[in-house]
Structure 1
């Protein structure tokens, strides 16, 4: 899968940390055994978290910044641990108009048909991994709400380099919330990430937004056992919602007919591309489809 930088339209190649380890874990028998018994377990994430929050991990910051060609000024901010660096706060200037991006990430958007199936353009997605069919019912662990038919499923994939705090894309109220237990599989592109979305640990919220009903879900991934939310009942667009601990992670949102997604993102997704976006930028607008 290729990535298009929305800012300049260029196709970019993503540099992944520990790519060799991921290949070992997912493409060899010994690796899959280690994955099942150890790496994908929540307790492994918790043990690793202890190290990243300790002063011993501070030495990792400089090599991380240099490897990903990040702003060198970050090294002068006095972080006390790698976790302190990774979960840092940055200034965000969200667009005032429209439906905005929840996170800095690689975004794919799928249309939800009136039959409840997912579509990439006009082509229905048939997500089958090792004989198992994956769909929205498995993702939600419940039937897809009727209001979501004719809407969109937004898939944000955060890599290690991305800013790991996330915001509310619209104002509204949280009507219900539930947590779903699971493992911590990788959400990288060479892993079976649809399986990860349906089987990983995740937190699901049901919103009544300014433009209709909406579902929002944070999904943990390998190394990310901790999803930190602020538990707000009423929220405003652009307000910080929470953050992830170290690792790659994902956010899924489902919107109904009240929201329309910008055409360039839909076109990229239809062609099989992810769109690199920045937190707070406009990605959609109020639709007339629901009227």
Structure 2
């Protein structure tokens, strides 16, 4: 049977088992209620065809599909940077029922291309920052679905199932892995409909020169993250070390901040290079879903209990920029 014939057969088999849409359960933090976050059928079918099953895993691990992912990422990036792409903005707004009143520029016709709308800015005050003057409080850096872990072992037991996932592979440095060994980490997954600018979770006194790691462009959907493939540490990503003041004079704290690209996200742009207040913008992603991973040194911070509870139950928590997610001990 030809490859296209096999593809068609697998697609028909999947379609016969499914409805029009699929998704994952997410906890709404404001109401504590679980809701089913749907995704279009073609996306779920694509995820199954690409990431579920031994043959798919072997094909991806072999690198046979890397060129396809990269070409599509670059092609879509070029398409959505073109003036003609403005025609996609209205349908995107309708598909995800986006609110425009929180935008710095609420008129969709004012955006020069689709990507400009995708990494749109919010009006001042749209994301208030919790306890902005209390340096012990840590806040959410992105509108996203969040899971939190006291250490890497907990993350790999519950969520990240990549065969070779380590702090060294994520951070791209043995020295950094040693500094953050045994530390706490949070994974913030941005969906396509989310506000795609990311912010600082703490007050920042300085930022080390970012480390850019070229890589692949796998999807960051939970169906892929929870599988055997290395996703977070294989994808293109930028690692920044943020330094913030400690309680005592002259003391300092740090957090490893990893912006992870994904399928159809070929662009990670950093917009801050120096001191910033807690909640200030650090950068943005171009089109697609994407992820931010934050890592704190061992025994330095504690996550809010509701986030821990939801993660242990296998659920992501819907969070927004500026919300409290934990505190320094």
Scaled by the length of structure 1, what TM-score is found? 0.85
Residues 167-178 of structure 1: pairs in structure 2 closer than 5 A: 167-172=199-204, 173-178=206-211
Relative to 1, partners in 2 of residues 1:240 and 1:37: Cα closer, same or farther, differing over 3 Å? closer
Query: 1:105 maps to which residue?
Result: 144
Asked whether the 8 Å contact 1:126–1:133 carries over to 2, the reply is: no
The total of aligned residue pairs comes to 278
The answer to whether the 8 Å contact 1:104/1:277 transfers is yes
User: What corresponds to 1:16 in structure 2?
Assistant: 39
Change (3 A) 1:198 1:72: closer
User: C-alpha displacement at 1:27, in angstroms?
Assistant: 4.2
User: CA 1:223–1:35 in structure 2 vs 1: closer, same or farther (change >3 Å)?
Assistant: farther
Matched, 1:207 2:242: yes
CA RMSD in angstroms, aligned pairs only: 2.7
The 5-angstrom pairing of residues 127-146 of structure 1 reads 128-129=161-162, 132-143=163-174, 145-146=177-178
In the superposition, the TM-score normalised over structure 2's length comes to: 0.76
Match of 2:19 in 1: none
Q: Does 1:286 align with 2:328?
A: yes
- 1:77 aligned partner: 108
Whether the aligned pair in 1 keeps the contact of 2:167 and 2:177 (CA below 8 Å) is no
Q: Which residue of 1 aligns with 2:215?
A: 182
1:53 maps to 2:81: yes
Judging changes above 3 Å, is the alpha-carbon distance between structure 1 residues 152 and 56 closer, same or farther for their aligned structure 2 residues? same
**Greater percentage in helix:** 2
Q: Give the Å deviation of 1:214.
A: 1.2
Retained in 1: the 8 A contact 2:164–2:230? no
Deviation sequence 1:82-106 (CA, Å, 0-9, x none) = 1121111013322224211000000
Q: Would you say 1:165 and 2:197 are equivalent positions?
A: yes
Q: For residue 138 of structure 1, report the CA deviation from its aligned partner.
A: 1.9
In structure 2, C-alpha distance between the alignment counterparts of 1:63 and 1:145, rounded to whole Å: 43
Q: Unaligned stretches of 5+ in structure 2? A: 1-23, 247-252
Instruction: Find the aligned partners of 1:49 and 1:145 in 2 and give their Cα distance.
Output: 32
- Relative to structure 1, is the Cα distance of residues 234 and 277 closer, same or farther in structure 2, using a 3 angstrom cutoff? same
Aligned mates of 2:236, 2:66 — CA distance in 1: 16
Residues 262 and 283 in structure 1, CA contact (< 8 A), matched pair in contact too? yes
**Alpha-carbon shift at residue 62 of structure 1 (Å):** 1.6
Identify if the C-alpha distance between structure 1 residues 151 and 134 changes in structure 2 by more than 3 Å, giving closer, same or farther.
closer
| 1:236 matches 2:277 | yes
1:25–1:170 distance in 2 versus 1, CA, 3 Å: same
Q: Quick check: 1:227 aligned with 2:252?
A: no
Rounded Cα–Cα distance in structure 1 between residues aligned with 2:310 and 2:56: 37
* Distance across 2 between alignment mates of 1:232 and 1:87: 19
- Give the drift of 1:230: 1.7
After the TM superposition, which residues 262-273 of structure 1 pair with which residues of structure 2 at under 5 Å, given as runs?
262-273=304-315
**Tell me, what secondary structure is at the counterpart of 2:187?**
strand
SS in structure 1 at match of 2:116: helix
Deviation at 1:280, TM superposition (A): 1.1
Higher Cα radius of gyration: 2
Name the structure where strand makes up a greater proportion of residues: 1
2:269 and 2:28 map into 1 onto residues whose CA distance is 28
Q: Structure 1 127/65 Cα, relative in aligned 2: closer, same or farther at 3 Å? A: closer
